A = this chain, B = another copy of it.
């Protein structure tokens, strides 16, 4: 009696992929068959490597975060680069974990008088930067099949992918409810506005009710996609390796899931940009290009599983369940 559901495909090593594409195709077979040209490198300078204190058994814990590419969320991403260069997170902690919600880290000090001073030069980013104008959407030849599969979204947007990231496009005529800085409704937002979305593993900027946050306090989503946060909080990256070091942490018992006992906080040893880690080789990852034919086929098959295990293909998929393939590239 075999009892195993297919495991989720969030990140994987190429060694684990079967080389024979079965018929019908599976997400794994499409990934295995993807030509090298369909994979794009992730610049180590666009990674954050967060080293937590070893666990109680002495096992190392490292979390790798990919930063959001331009033109999205770049005000906050710039702050985050500055914070990493200043080694600001060294000695801070993971201080809040809520089941089916987030794991949050940074200084975690509510009292401004006691808070760790921030480096100079951080931007105060306006809410208007939750959205950006996209100069070019994905290639039309690829848009076709992806668009068919992703044409329905409960959050009243057009889902899309941009350089390997799930995003949401606001379309004119869609029943979007948007407000400007004064709280006045914007009945019909212009057509090229788009923003990132909150999925499992997304990294966002914690904030108070008055500001959009600097980026010093970050969280990773460890549950069902909290899409109600889209356009309300800046998404600045995603965990691409080691999310289990956040998702398995004990849930906080204090207010809003904060660790009420400071001893429960998980010390952050260091956070470095991937090109500034103190060891070699630097971390190298690749993503399956979202404007590639392989990606279009991958989305189609994720939405229409009909391999041996699946009896009824869904016929569609939500943008956060697509799970863009990302793999670590082993050094020679």
Contacts and interface: CB of A to CB of B under 8 A. Distances in A.
A206 interface: yes
Contact of A228 (B179, B317, B319): B317
Contacts of A249: 248
A120 interface: no
A19 interface: no
Contacts of A156: 152, 314-316
A13 to B, nearest CB: 13
Nearest to A11: B99
Given A10-B100, A155-B318, A3 B207 contact: yes
Nearest to A213: B3
A213 B206 CA distance: 43
A98 interface: yes
Interface residues of A, number: 85
B152 A153 contact: yes
6 contacts: A3-B106, A8-B223, A154-B317, A156-B315, A179-B312, A227-B317
Interface of A: 1-8, 10, 96, 98-102, 104, 106, 108-110, 112, 115, 127, 130, 150, 152-156, 175-179, 199-201, 206-209, 213, 217, 219, 223-233, 243-244, 247-251, 255-258, 302-305, 308-321
Given A223-B224, A244-B250, 7 more contacts: A1-B115, A8-B100, A99-B247, A200-B224, A224-B224, A228-B321, A248-B249
